[in-house]
Amino acid sequence: MDPDRARQLLVAERKRIEQALSQRAHEDTGEPADEEDPGNQATELYQDELDEGFADDLREELAAVERAEARLAAGTYGLSVESGKPIPDERLEALPTAERTVEEEQAR
């Protein structure tokens, strides 16, 4: 894959993830009943935990972008981190942070 195209894809992926992370925080409704009603408290707790889980997933995706950017800088972007085999451009277009070929990923 052309390094400029790879850079474009990674910049777009980083932007998507960072935007999603910034919008991920659960907002308290501020209703007085929230403090007194166990049902509302449970709902708030569930939502907070769900949001934290999504945020964890997004941070993992961001780490994958950083690893891909490092491979791009090192000249190894587009090569499997496992075998060194080329990752097809079609896969990189669909998943710019791909670290392995489809076959290697399925074997994991």
Q: Got the DSSP string for 4-73?
A: HHHHHHHHHHHHHHHHHHHT--------THHHH-HHHHHHHHHHHHHHHHHHHHHHHHHHHHHHHHHHHH
Q: Is the pLDDT of residue 51 over 90?
A: no
pLDDT bin (cut points 50, 70, 90) of residue 58 is: very high
Rounded mean pLDDT of 79-84? Answer: 96
HSE (CB half, 13 Å, CA atoms) of 67? 15
Q: Give the whole-angstrom CA distance, residue 85 versus residue 101.
A: 8
Rounded mean pLDDT of 93-104? Answer: 96
Tokens of 39: 């049902």
Q: 0.85 cut: is pTM over it?
A: no
Least confident of 23-27, 54-58, 95-99: 23-27
Q: Give the whole-angstrom CA distance, residue 76 versus residue 69.
A: 10
Q: Is the pLDDT of residue 27 over 70?
A: no
Q: Is the pLDDT of residue 38 over 80?
A: no
Q: Give the whole-angstrom CA distance, residue 31 versus residue 23.
A: 21
**Residue boundaries of the structural domains of the chain:** 3-77
Rounded mean pLDDT of 10-36? Answer: 76
- Amino acid identity of 89? D
